[in-house]
Chain A
């Protein structure tokens, strides 16, 4: 953080509330001194943006003492810088972004599908949160852009309970028109992940009515004993399944990379209760609650090989597919897919406890439906009425 300059210090006017109105007028006391600490904290918690809080931090001594107590903070990251670049380079954010591509999965994509999915942008070791406004005030003698990692930016906050970090974009480069959203929940390792995808999204007025619609009788068997509940054979042979597997693996890798990056932040902020790592595209959300954060603190993460991401355990996946799915807001998803992923160990514990296939799906329902907002929530619910295709995946 920049140091407080002498003229700024002169402006501070002491702690606590002013003695009386008359005294205030005479001395021209700081307006904000009328407000008690509790209200200032309410205001700072509502601001929550870390850059704005950083500005307030240097405004007055009173603000300086209160800002570290803020418990709700959100960090919006401007750009991602990979290991290879010097952090003191004078390059602007956009050129840094262009150079950041260091695909950890491009090799995999080439092997499996010959480039249908664009390479995934890897998250470098240093996530940058550069602020040119802050720069122009505090460090006007420097011409270069300063970069700070989220850990550095957050180090002055001692009492954060809710933290939200937003990446500038989703890591997964998907072709135009493809829908891909994921939501993952981690403790020391993955607890669950839900992925919703579609090869294209159209408005339903532009397409002819599909033969298999999302309208089913309310009494339909959730175990999917009926014929129209099965996935068409062509799905397995025309590359549809392979593509979904790539989506799944890409999403899991993105999630585990994010999780790995969060370790130092979780370690430094023991008061955390909720942590969300999202992106500006609305593509992926990684969330952790209090129990999971404590688990991560007690059992630090093991990396997967030499990559900068958390090891994935053996996983059980259930995949639902519908060639054409109409959802309530007037959209039509083609090749709609829902994948629900849990560690195999967790799944077999549920099977033993729950007994039949019926209760298994029912117990999944609530947390899967909470993963996405409308209209995707409805899409997930409609997809789950069918019979799933089950897959097992080894640890990676």
Chain B
């Protein structure tokens, strides 16, 4: 098993944060995957639709998932449930970011979690969730 340098790529968020990740992790995002396959990606891939805070959470999840698939500990269910243990506002941002990046299973996961959160709420509670500042 020869060691080789795994290709890395830099992802840049809308607010200028940069993340250096392995290509395999970055390719969890379909959007990035197709860009790389089509030769449209340079060393730095700009993601204007995604803020650094949320990009880092998604990258973190993708890293863990790649590690798990390679025979790591824990369960996929555990990883997923940890990912969505966030407040509603963050969850919505993560959902939008996943949609942007086309990480489809994260889109499904966040949508399902949002659905569960909305389901039991009264109208007032849903309105408050929409506009927490007011």
**Contact residues of A with B, CB < 8 Å?**
8, 11, 13, 21, 28, 30-32, 34-36, 38-39, 42-44, 46-47, 49, 52, 55-56, 58-60, 133, 137-138
Contact = CB atoms under 8 A, between A and B. Distances in A.
A39 B99 contact: yes
A21 B54 CA distance: 13
B111 A42 contact: yes
Contact of B112 (A34, A46, A55, A56): A46
Nearest to A46: B115
30 contacts: A11-B127, A11-B131, A21-B15, A30-B131, A31-B132, A32-B92, A34-B92, A35-B92, A36-B96, A39-B96, A39-B107, A42-B107, A43-B111, A43-B115, A43-B118, A44-B115, A46-B111, A47-B115, A49-B119, A52-B118, A52-B119, A52-B120, A55-B122, A56-B126, A59-B126, A59-B130, A133-B122, A137-B122, A137-B123, A138-B123
Contact of B121 (A21, A31, A55, A138): A55
Nearest to B107: A39
A181 B129 CA distance: 43
A43 B88 CA distance: 14
B109 to A, nearest CB: 11
Given A52-B119, A55-B122, A55-B123, A34 B96 contact: yes
Nearest to B134: A28
Nearest to A17: B96
A38 B89 CA distance: 18
B96 to A, nearest CB: 4
B115 A60 contact: no
A35 B96 contact: yes
Nearest to B94: A34
A137 B14 CA distance: 41
Interface in B52-107: 88-89, 92-93, 95-96, 99, 107
Q: Secondary structure of the B side of the interface?
A: helix
A31 B92 contact: yes
Nearest to B51: A21
B131 to A, nearest CB: 6
Interface of B: 14-15, 51, 88-89, 92-93, 95-96, 99, 107-108, 111-112, 114-115, 118-124, 126-127, 129-134
Chain A at the B interface: mostly helix, strand, loop or mixed?
helix
Contact of A31 (B89, B115, B123, B124): B89
Nearest to B49: A17
Contact of A11 (B51, B88, B114, B130): B130
Given A31-B89, A39-B95, A59 B123 contact: yes
A73 to B, nearest CB: 13
Name the residue in B51, B112, B131 with the highest tally of chain A Cβ atoms < 10 Å from its Cβ: B131
A31 B130 CA distance: 5
Contacts of B115: 43-44, 46-47
Given A39-B107, A43-B115, 10 more contacts: A11-B131, A31-B89, A35-B92, A36-B96, A36-B99, A39-B95, A42-B108, A56-B126, A59-B130, A60-B127
B12 to A, nearest CB: 15
B88 A31 contact: yes
Contacts of A36: 96, 99
Nearest 5 interchain pairs by C-beta = A46-B115, A28-B133, A34-B96, A42-B111, A47-B115
Contacts of A49: 119
A52 B123 CA distance: 9
A49 B121 CA distance: 12
A243 B74 CA distance: 54
Contacts of B107: 39, 42
Nearest to A12: B130
Given A32-B92, A35-B99, A46-B112, A137 B124 contact: yes
A74 to B, nearest CB: 11
